[in-house]
Amino acid sequence: MSADTNPPVIRLQDYTAPAYRLRHVEMVFDLDPESTLVTTTMAVTRLAGMEVPLELDGDRDMALVSVWLDNRELPDGRYELTEESLTLRDLPEEFELQIQTSINPKANTKLEGLYQSNGMFCTQCEAEGFRRITFFPDRPDVMTTYRVTIRAPKADYPVLLSNGNNVENGDLPDGRHYAVWDDPFPKPSYLFALVAGDLAMMEDRFTTMGDRDVTLRIFVEHGNESRCAYAMDSLIRSMKWDEERFGLEYDLDIFNIVAVSDFNMGAMENKSLNIFNAKYILADPETATDADFALVEGIVAHEYFHNWTGNRVTCRDWFQLSLKEGLTVFRDQEFSGDQRSHAVQRIEDVRMLRARQFPEDAGPLSHPVRPDSYIEINNFYTATVYEKGAEVIRMMHSILGEDGFQRGMKLYFERHDGQAVTCDDFTAAMSDANDMDLSHFKLWYSQSGTPLVTVSEHYDETAKTFRIRVRQETRPTPGQEKKQPLYIPLRTALIGQDGQDLSCRFDGVEAREHVLTLTKAEQDFVFEGVGEKPILSINRGFSAPVILKSDAGHPEKAFQMAHDADPFNRWNAGQDYGVSLILEMVETLQNGGKPDVDPAFLDAMGRIARDQAIDPAFKALALTLPSEDYVAEQMQVVDVEAIHGAREHLRRAIGTAHRDQFQHLYETHRLEDGRFDPGAEAAGHRALRSVALGYLGSADGDTAAPVLKSHFDQADNMTDAMAALRYLTDMDVPERASCLTAFEERWKGNQQVMDKWFGIQAMSARQNTLDDVRGLMEHPAFTMKNPNRVRSLIGAFCIGNPLHFHVQDGSGYDFLAEQVIALDKINPQVAARLMGPLGQWRRFDSGHQEKMKAAISHVLESGELSKDVYEIASKSLA
Ligand code: 0A1
Ligand code: ZN
């Protein structure tokens, strides 16, 4: 795709139902690394009144070998073949079509379709990978049953897996063997999966609530067997949780997971054969941090939950992606909250939403939760579809309550089990089950942009009323000039001077917490019986995904930090306060001054550090300043250097003011030696200790290096080792190199751990980081062919190191453009995802803008581009 050819735009409004139905599909794979033969036999019915040709999707990387209609081979002239399709005309009403294709899995560096990873065969078919295996109606609303035969040399590929049940196995001549898999559940092609390899296996069992005995297996490369226990445990807990919370039971006798080293995304929910990026399966204390353990748990749960929300009920078309993703993210967030702490989970989820989705929604790639057009669907696996989609489901949950939401889910499955449906079908089920009109609420699916909600308050002492005026505004986004007011639920309480929530009347109801429903551009809400001037705590638990601006000043924020009964708002008050201080300091720095630090903020942080009643995990979050990116989000014109300088200055001030307290926290939250516990409580202690260590480092500067080194040397788990390295990486001290070298020596055989080593260096604030990154690209462990390596080095630099990526001379931008151009030839999907930070050019001063735009143009003009990169680059520039 070059800049002057127009790739087709796919539009929701052009959707038409399929003209042909597949009654059943049989596939035979003769596996060979360079020349795999795929024979696909489809039993097809033309639907009544559909006098149209059968158009099958294909791909230029696949060769057509033969086409047979009802057992007769068709000559070339009987079908039309293009690089991306196979069309057949004049077909009977019912027929059997057999297609043979030949593919080269070894040459498949895109990692879509059938490919090889470390010698094993595996597949990735979502969204449109199946068409790289055979010519097929590769769209999610064509669902059918599959029976799959896999043939391969037995010595190299003793394990042969596909979806459903293993119904037959046997030996073949020439050292080959075969396995037959039959999946009784009709599914769309994107859920097809095949794996063949020499793999180690860990097995367990689960008995469902309906007494079905399910065999659970996790397959990994040899040597990794001992690192699957946590994933297996997470799977069993997920299965149990889905029964208890949603009444959803597993539906086959077997559930397989395979971990692969080369994978474009996190994991894939293929029916009964989930395929994972190994990074999200393998975890043990020595190699995985607490954050990694939490991700393994959350992603294993996410993929398992898809069995109902995604597989049993799937999407009609790819515009409906959030139907399965938003709902499944909501479910995995709830699961993690139930397993760990709802407060901490909510804070982390919102942190992520603000870090990834808010900038996306404010930039050139802004799109609705249900997009209405795309060039390349792979570009729409976004934070908006996933995380904002989950917020939309969460709002429905809070509007309907747990019981009402579950009534809606029950009706959704009663109506749509076995079907491919739309987001409208989901909201209709929620609405009908609760006799509630959700038509205004549904605007959240089609309108993009983050609403800005502004609150002004007025207390009337004589009338004892507290009135708030709430306004909402959503700025225009690409393709959507005019915005309408959304339906916004705001959980709200009024806090009294004693720190307790006041009981007051709203809408005739006396309570300590109320839900305000904002439906207009501007609305007044009046609370009655308010005996004293309160502190407003609004949007508790982040009940709506909005940006909130209120009258509250620093004293009110400090008060909330100390007292708000809602943990999310308590944490958020500290973030708001921190952002506002850092912004003030940025201004001082820009004017050549030396910033002061507000002593009241230092006091508030000190109070949190000393408060023994606070859970350590929450305390660690509350003591962590807003990230540089989050501060940047609040600026008209981003100045990365000033933000970095101001934030570091504030960290040093906090560290210095409370040095003794941090020393105390560091010493007292040391866990007893013994067995590592990956649970939330122990992780909370480690998190708090790491935060304390960081402040000690900030307070003491380079003289802290020996303490950091000894923390590193004594670490018996990856969380502690990484905490020390994270602080050391920014310092110019000999301990930095000695720890990094020791780490490399110890872990050079482990790709997953080496990714951490690459990442930590790529995110360093030190002067010559870009040179280091270029140097690291020459490291024997680095390869552009592996997405995890690319993300850990190039991605970490461009996304995780704003200070150096945005360096004045534009060298960071040129570096990214160069890597995107090179990577696009190997793996377009991963290349396109790297482009994100360049799209933020409007947020910078004109000097940066010019250089960022030049880098995007450079990519666009570099010759043949994939649709993936073309779409992101061209939209970023528009
Ligand atoms: N459906 C998976 C994620 C996934 C999406 C796209 C992929 O290739 C384009 C691969 C995986 C999930 O939500 O977990
Ligand atoms: Zn998903």
How would DSSP label each residue in 335-355? HHHHHS-HHHHHHHHHHHIII
- Does the beta carbon of 379 lie inside 6 Å of ligand 1? no
Going from the Cα of 450 to the center of ligand 1, the distance in angstroms, rounded, reads 25
Instruction: Determine phi and psi for 274, rounding to 5 degrees.
Output: -70, 135
Gap between the Cα atoms of 721 and 707, Å rounded: 12
**Closest of 182, 160, 163 to residue 172, by C-alpha:** 160
Q: With contact defined as beta carbons under 8 Å apart, do 429 and 415 qualify?
A: yes
**Whole-model pTM above 0.80?**
yes
Going from the Cα of 157 to the center of ligand 2, the distance in angstroms, rounded, reads 29
- Does the beta carbon of 267 lie inside 6 Å of ligand 1? yes
Nearest-CA residue for atom 3 of ligand 1: 268
- Does the beta carbon of 269 lie inside 6 Å of ligand 1? yes
Gap between the Cα atoms of 364 and 403, Å rounded: 39
Nearest-CA residue for atom 13 of ligand 1: 325
pLDDT(201) > 80: yes
How would DSSP label each residue in 804-854? HHT-TTSHHHHHHHHHHHHHHTT-HHHHHHHTGGGGGGGGS-HHHHHHHHH
**Of ligand 1's atoms, which has the minimum distance to the CA of residue 267?**
14
pLDDT of residue 22: 98
Q: With contact defined as beta carbons under 8 Å apart, do 847 and 813 qualify?
A: no
The torsion of the CA quartet 758, 297, 544, 573, rounded to 10 degrees, works out to -60
pLDDT(2) > 80: no
- CB count in 10 Å sphere of residue 692: 26
Going from the Cα of 334 to the center of ligand 1, the distance in angstroms, rounded, reads 20
- Closest ligand to Cα 127: 1
- Does the beta carbon of 381 lie inside 6 Å of ligand 1? yes
Helix H or strand E segment including 761: helix 751-762
Q: Are strands 144-153 and 20-30 parallel, antiparallel or unpaired?
A: parallel
Going from the Cα of 82 to the center of ligand 1, the distance in angstroms, rounded, reads 27
- pLDDT, tens digit (0-9, with 9 covering 90-100), for 457-466: 999 999 999 9
- pLDDT, tens digit (0-9, with 9 covering 90-100), for 702-738: 999 999 999 999 999 999 999 999 999 999 999 999 9
Helix axes 290-305, 229-246, angle to 10 degrees: 50
Going from the Cα of 789 to the center of ligand 2, the distance in angstroms, rounded, reads 22
- Closest ligand to Cα 265: 1
- Does the beta carbon of 426 lie inside 6 Å of ligand 1? no
Helix axes 811-824, 846-860, angle to 10 degrees: 20
How would DSSP label each residue in 560-605? HHHH-SSHHHHHHHHHHHHHHHHHHHHHHHHTT------HHHHHHH
Nearest-CA residue for atom 2 of ligand 1: 268
pLDDT of residue 653: 98
- CB count in 10 Å sphere of residue 234: 24
791 DSSP assignment? I
Gap between the Cα atoms of 503 and 185, Å rounded: 53
What are the residues whose beta carbons fall under 8 Å from the beta carbon of 373, sequence distance 6 or more?
Answer: 9, 10, 11, 12
For 62-97, b/e burial (b = at least 16 CB within 10 A) is bebeebebeeeeeeeeebeeeeeebebeebeeebeb
Gap between the Cα atoms of 291 and 678, Å rounded: 10
Q: What number is the average pLDDT over the span 446-452? A: 98
pLDDT(77) > 70: yes
Going from the Cα of 297 to the center of ligand 2, the distance in angstroms, rounded, reads 14
pLDDT bin (cut points 50, 70, 90) of residue 675 is confident
- Closest ligand to Cα 381: 1
Q: With contact defined as beta carbons under 8 Å apart, do 864 and 1 qualify?
A: yes
Gap between the Cα atoms of 807 and 590, Å rounded: 16
What are the residues whose beta carbons fall under 8 Å from the beta carbon of 107, sequence distance 6 or more?
Answer: 34, 61
303 assigned to active site: yes
Gap between the Cα atoms of 707 and 675, Å rounded: 24
Q: With contact defined as beta carbons under 8 Å apart, do 38 and 136 qualify?
A: no
- Closest ligand to Cα 140: 1
Q: In this structure, which amino acid lies at residue 298?
A: G
pLDDT of residue 3: 47
Going from the Cα of 472 to the center of ligand 1, the distance in angstroms, rounded, reads 34
Q: Which listed residue (303, 334, 360, 391) is catalytic?
A: 303
- pLDDT, tens digit (0-9, with 9 covering 90-100), for 31-41: 999 999 999 99
**Of ligand 1's atoms, which has the minimum distance to the CA of residue 303?**
14
| Prediction ipTM score | 0.99
**Most informative mutation of 117, 126, 264 for ligand 1 (most atoms within 8 A of CB):** 126
- Does the beta carbon of 325 lie inside 6 Å of ligand 1? yes
**Most informative mutation of 268, 270, 830, 871 for ligand 1 (most atoms within 8 A of CB):** 268
pLDDT(1) > 70: no
pLDDT(673) > 80: no
- CB count in 10 Å sphere of residue 550: 18
Nearest-CA residue for atom 1 of ligand 1: 268
Gap between the Cα atoms of 178 and 154, Å rounded: 8
Tell me, letter by letter, the H, E, C secondary structure of 627-683. Answer: CHHHHHHCCCCCCHHHHHHHHHHHHHHHHHHCHHHHHHHHHHCCCCCCCCCCCHHHH
**Of ligand 1's atoms, which has the minimum distance to the CA of residue 377?**
9
Q: Are strands 213-220 and 200-207 parallel, antiparallel or unpaired?
A: antiparallel
- Does the beta carbon of 320 lie inside 6 Å of ligand 1? no
Nearest-CA residue for atom 5 of ligand 1: 126
Query: Which regions of 432-506 does DSSP assign to beta strands (E)?
Result: 452-460, 465-473, 488-495, 504-506
- Does the beta carbon of 124 lie inside 6 Å of ligand 1? yes
pLDDT of residue 646: 98
HSE-up of residue 795 (Cα within 13 Å, Cβ side): 17
- Does the beta carbon of 382 lie inside 6 Å of ligand 1? no
Q: Sheet holding 273-277: strands in order across?
A: 200-207, 213-220, 254-260, 273-277, 267-268
- Does the beta carbon of 378 lie inside 6 Å of ligand 1? yes
- pLDDT, tens digit (0-9, with 9 covering 90-100), for 535-592: 999 999 999 999 999 999 999 999 999 999 999 999 999 999 999 999 999 999 999 9
Nearest-CA residue for atom 6 of ligand 1: 126
Q: What number is the average pLDDT over the span 438-456? A: 98
Gap between the Cα atoms of 519 and 382, Å rounded: 27
Gap between the Cα atoms of 129 and 112, Å rounded: 5
pLDDT bin (cut points 50, 70, 90) of residue 818 is very high
**In whole angstroms, what separates CA 348 from the centre of its chain?**
12
For 386-421, b/e burial (b = at least 16 CB within 10 A) is bbbbbbbbbbbbebbeeebbbbbbebbbebbeeebb
| Separation in Å, CA 239 to CA 249, 255, 304, 335 | 7, 11, 8, 11
Q: In this structure, which amino acid lies at residue 313?
A: V
- Does the beta carbon of 122 lie inside 6 Å of ligand 1? no
**Most informative mutation of 128, 296, 381, 387 for ligand 1 (most atoms within 8 A of CB):** 381
- Does the beta carbon of 303 lie inside 6 Å of ligand 1? yes
Gap between the Cα atoms of 83 and 77, Å rounded: 16
| Separation in Å, CA 583 to CA 625, 650, 744, 843 | 13, 11, 38, 15
**Closest of 295, 292, 261, 265 to residue 278, by C-alpha:** 261
- Does the beta carbon of 604 lie inside 6 Å of ligand 1? no
How would DSSP label each residue in 205-269? EEE-TT--EEEEEEEE-TT-GGG-HHHHHHHHHHHHHHHHHH-----SSEEEEEEES--SSSEE-
Gap between the Cα atoms of 295 and 678, Å rounded: 12
- Does the beta carbon of 127 lie inside 6 Å of ligand 1? yes
- pLDDT, tens digit (0-9, with 9 covering 90-100), for 17-36: 999 999 999 999 999 999 99
**Closest of 216, 226, 227 to residue 281, by C-alpha:** 227
Instruction: Determine phi and psi for 494, rounding to 5 degrees.
Output: -110, 130
Please state, for a pLDDT cut of 70, what percent of the chain lies above it. Answer: 99
pLDDT bin (cut points 50, 70, 90) of residue 6 is confident
Q: What number is the average pLDDT over the span 236-252? A: 98
Q: With contact defined as beta carbons under 8 Å apart, do 431 and 445 qualify?
A: no
| Separation in Å, CA 832 to CA 60, 386, 803 | 20, 18, 22
The torsion of the CA quartet 409, 297, 255, 152, rounded to 10 degrees, works out to 130
pLDDT bin (cut points 50, 70, 90) of residue 674 is confident
**Largest Cα–Cα separation, the chain:** 95
CA angle, 600 as apex, 656 and 664 as ends, to 5°? Answer: 40
**In whole angstroms, what separates CA 435 from the centre of its chain?**
33
pLDDT of residue 4: 53
Going from the Cα of 332 to the center of ligand 1, the distance in angstroms, rounded, reads 15
pLDDT of residue 298: 98
How would DSSP label each residue in 50-104? ----EEEE--TTSEEEEEEETTEEPPGGGEEE-SSEEEE-S--SEEEEEEEEEE-
- Closest ligand to Cα 829: 1
Going from the Cα of 303 to the center of ligand 2, the distance in angstroms, rounded, reads 6
**Closest of 380, 243, 393 to residue 318, by C-alpha:** 380
pLDDT(523) > 60: yes
- Does the beta carbon of 307 lie inside 6 Å of ligand 1? no
- pLDDT, tens digit (0-9, with 9 covering 90-100), for 331-361: 999 999 999 999 999 999 999 999 999 999 9
- pLDDT, tens digit (0-9, with 9 covering 90-100), for 80-126: 999 999 999 999 999 999 999 999 999 999 999 999 999 999 999 99
Mean pLDDT of the chain: 98
Going from the Cα of 295 to the center of ligand 1, the distance in angstroms, rounded, reads 15
Q: Three-class SS of residue 502? A: coil
- pLDDT, tens digit (0-9, with 9 covering 90-100), for 820-849: 999 999 999 999 999 999 999 999 999 999
